[in-house]
Amino acid sequence: MKELLSKRTREYQERAREVAERAVRPVAAELDRTGEYPWSVIRALREAKLMGIWVPEEYGGQSAGVLDLCVVVEELSRACGGVGVAYAVNALGSFGIILGGTEEQKRRFLPGIASGEQLIAFGLSEKASGSDAGSLRTRAVLDGDHWVIDGDKKWNTNGNVASLYAVYCSTRPDRGSRGISALLVEKGTRGFEVGKREDLMGIRCVPVHELHFRGCRVPAENLIGGVEGRGFGLAMQTLDRARPGVAAQAVGLAQGALDWALRYTSERQQFGQSVLSFQATQFKVADLATEIEAARQLVLGAARFIDEGHAGASKYAAMCKVFATDVAMRVTTEAVQMFGGYGYCRDYPVEKYMRDAKITQIYEGANQIQRLVIGRALTKEATALTATHPVLVEHFPELETVAAPGGETKR
């Protein structure tokens, strides 16, 4: 299917695959065991000119699209899911600056991210507000020419290795989600502390930390976009652009697990023949390979949709995220099963794929939330269709009670 990709995208894919095979696969098991951050891989990605490719050229990047980001993440995740997210989270953190930052903020912060010299984290979730992102308790109050932040953040990927943090705070609690603003906090700022590291089941090489803010004073010019109250919308736009990256991580994990399962079942002999020669195994791998390819094409389609600026990106970002991550969990679980007892042992790599895959169904919007996003989008589309096609009501009278545009009940 690579023929469907542009020449530039194929070049990104090939460079990422080379880095994955040379710099990621040999250390993946050790990184998982120790939980060390993959600095050697980051250096390899910098040398391959793959860090920060999504940053616009005028700020030191390569103006690559979400599609390009996805092919790189898939290749890295095929070797190690933790490395895949360690790379992709820098896009998540910097998309807010790209989409809503002032010119001064872009020139100040994006070049370091583009070169890979600066890593960034995304601070939205809190203990009491995960899926309910609009109910943030972290507060920021303007005091002269500084914002003073008080509160705590949870689930911050890149937590202790980042040098810059995009932190979402409530600056007008009385306005709910419309009172949320985004601030850029630099590591070492007084009143800011990186807290407890989470002991994760999977993606163990990427640090996930709590962040604590106690009277943390941030310059007023670090308010993303320079305008209060735009943080929630910016966070949602950012997540729409980042979710295909999570889906690509899931595709890479699924493909990597299937690669190992095919290798193992082709070599494993039972009853005088390879396990892969059994029809039951062939049917199973046929179904898994088909699901992976379907997920891959949905991811690439959603990424193209976003890159081309079409409306309705939220629905397609949610669709590719929910489908690909569910596929990854099924494929990795089946791969463990095909290894038999060995699949349950850490001597073999396949169990790591299953552990890494699970988080993809949870972070950047749990799959239950993605289904809500899709369902609401479809409901809105159905309402609009009924309003613009009165002939439907003529043939289906039960549609008369569908709400018409403007909110009134149509009778």
Q: Which CATH architecture group holds 2-118?
A: Orthogonal Bundle (1.10)
pLDDT at 129: 82
| Cα–Cα distance measured from residue 202 to residue 42, given in angstroms and rounded to the nearest whole number | 19
What topology is assigned to 233-380 in CATH? Butyryl-CoA Dehydrogenase, subunit A; domain 3 (1.20.140)
Percentages of the chain per state (helix, strand, coil), in multiples of 5: 60, 15, 25
Give the pLDDT confidence score for residue 408 in this predicted structure. 44
Separation between Cα atoms, residue 223 and residue 241, nearest integer Å = 21
Identify the active-site residue in 193, 364, 381, 400: 364
Which ranges of the chain have pLDDT less than 70? 1-3, 389-411
Pair type for strands 180-186 and 208-219: unpaired
Question: Exposed (0-12), middle (13-18) or buried (19+): which is 347, by Cβ within 10 Å?
Answer: exposed
Orientation of helix 7-19 relative to helix 39-47, angle to 10°: 140
Q: Which amino acid is at 89?
A: V
Query: Which pLDDT value is given to residue 385?
Result: 81
Q: Evaluate whether 224 touches 232 at the Cβ level (below 8 Å).
A: no
Active site residue 57: no
Q: Is 217 exposed, middle or buried (0-12, 13-18, 19+ CB in 10 A)?
A: middle
Q: Tell me, what's the pLDDT at 387?
A: 73
- Cα separation, 251 vs 257, in Å, equals 10
Query: Which backbone phi and psi does 118 adopt, to 5 degrees?
Result: -125, 130
CB contact set of 2 (below 8 Å; sequence gap of 6+): 10, 13
Which pLDDT value is given to residue 395? 60
CATH class of 121-229: mainly beta
| Phi, psi angles (nearest 5°) of residue 170 | -90, 115
Give the model's pLDDT for residue 392: 57
Question: Which amino acid makes up residue 199?
Answer: D
The pTM of this model reads 0.92
pLDDT at 314: 93
Give residue limits of the domains in the chain: 2-118, 121-229, 233-380
User: What pLDDT is attached to residue 403?
Assistant: 47
CB count, 10 Å around CB of 129? 16
Buried b or exposed e, range 182-209, using 16+ CB within 10 angstroms: bbbbeeebeebebeeeeebebbbbbbbb
Query: Could you tell me the CA-to-CA distances from 346 to 286, 339, 351, 353 in Å, in that order?
Result: 26, 12, 7, 11
Structure token digits, residue 326: 């569910």
Q: Residue 4 has what pLDDT?
A: 83
- In order, the DSSP letters of 133-148 are TT----EEEEETTEEE
Cβ atoms of 326 and 361 closer than 8 Å: yes
DSSP per-residue string spanning 309-362: T-S-HHHHHHHHHHHHHHHHHHHHHHHHHHTGGGGGSTTSTHHHHHHHHHHHTT
Model confidence over 130-153: pLDDT tens digits? 778 778 999 999 999 999 999 999
| Angle at CA of residue 239, ends 47 and 368, nearest 5° | 125
pLDDT in tens, 323-356: 999 999 999 999 999 999 999 999 999 999 999 9
Tokens 């995220």, residue? 321
